[in-house]
Structure 1
């Protein structure tokens, strides 16, 4: 007998479910907050919150430009997490619950990576233009 089939009708217990849902809300909120504050250039360079790469740490121009350009992507990534709040409770199997959580999270992560990549590219182009150098990427 398949051990996975034996447990297929078991659903997530209440306490882990509540913790999971609160975590999704907090993550979505943090991403939306990062987008809103980044668009307003109100996230100061720090070690805890924001897009922290070697490039963004190289100077304030890079930090603020990357956060400003990636702001919309961050907000959309935060909103992409929210379907999990509806889909996980209505999923009828444990595998369904996992998919209902991972698909929106995967979409959110993809949006964050694409937005960060695009923001880095735009920031480097702006930096090159301001420096009057066409050889910078």
Structure 2
């Protein structure tokens, strides 16, 4: 008996996933609609490193800006795989990465509207942001080890893009580094004074990025020496 093709089921699964991701992106704005009348005309548009609001903007302006940013993030995540010349992205893995980033943005933006509505102490705000970034960092690291060479997703240095061996070694190393860095950031949200939180929040990712780039170059040099020898 000839088996029926499975394309309809595949398309249905993709459509369901797309609806889920789009709904997650819209949740912050559903929450915003619920509290809109209770928001003041001017709400915090920017926070200093100490977690204190240092600029206020009209709520209509911020709503439009955040809607534009959300649409941009959605479209980039949705269509990036189509522009990869290698067409080498693992669809299931990329779906997990996309879900993780979408969840982070939805939670972050909902939190932004909540803080604009109810307000929180600057120390609490710094702690929550640090915790969220740490979870995102560790989550990405947990998925990184399985990434295949791509021009758009992963550690894209001249050396990783030049060699699949360097790509594989770099991402195996970076996966552990990202998870460790993420856990360090998460821990810092409880044990590091709030005034030092922004330093950890910026310093750890920068340090991880620098070490990862250096490691990819080192792997490339080792691979080059091995080929010449």
- TM-score for the superposition, normalised by structure 2: 0.39
Partner of 1:84: 185
Q: Tell whether the 8 Å contact from 2:134 to 2:184 is kept in structure 1 after alignment.
A: no
Q: Does 1:98 align with 2:190?
A: no
How far is the alpha carbon of 1:19 from its aligned partner?
4.5
Q: Of 31, 39, 42, which aligns to 2:141?
A: 31
Q: For the Cα contact (< 8 Å) 1:89–1:97, is it kept in 2?
A: no
Mapped pair 1:47 → 2:128: no
Aligned ranges 1:62-73 → 2 under 5 Å: 62=163, 64-73=164-173
Given the superposition, is the C-alpha separation of residues 92 and 55 from structure 1 closer, same or farther in structure 2, using an over 3 Å criterion? closer
The answer as to whether partners of 1:80 and 1:108 remain within 8 angstroms in 2 is: yes
Distance of 2:201 and 2:193 partners within structure 1 = 13
Deviations 1:34-73 (A, max 9, x none): 2x215xxxx1x32221232344444xxx1x2112222342
Aligned residue in 2 for 1:107: 207
Residues 136 and 182, structure 2, Cα contact 8 Å, conserved in 1 = no
Seen in structure 2, the aligned counterparts of structure 1 residues 81 and 108 have a Cα distance that, compared at 3 Å, is: farther
2:166 and 2:223 in contact (8 A); partners too: yes
Q: Distance in 1 between matches of 2:139 and 2:132?
A: 10
Higher RCO, Cα 8 Å, sep 6+: 1
Change (3 A) 1:47 1:92: same
Pair 1:123 & 2:123 matched: no
Confirm or deny: 8 A CA contact 2:123 2:194 kept in the other structure: yes
> Is residue 70–residue 118 contact of structure 1 (8 Å, CA) maintained in 2?
no
SS at match of 1:11: helix
**Are the aligned partners of 1:56 and 1:66 in contact in 2 as well (CA < 8 Å)?**
yes
**What is the Cα deviation at residue 10 of structure 1?**
4.2
Indicate how the Cα distance of structure 1 residues 117 and 32 shifts in structure 2: closer, same or farther if over 3 A, else same. Answer: farther
Cα distance change of structure 1 residues 115 and 29 upon mapping to structure 2, 3 Å threshold: farther
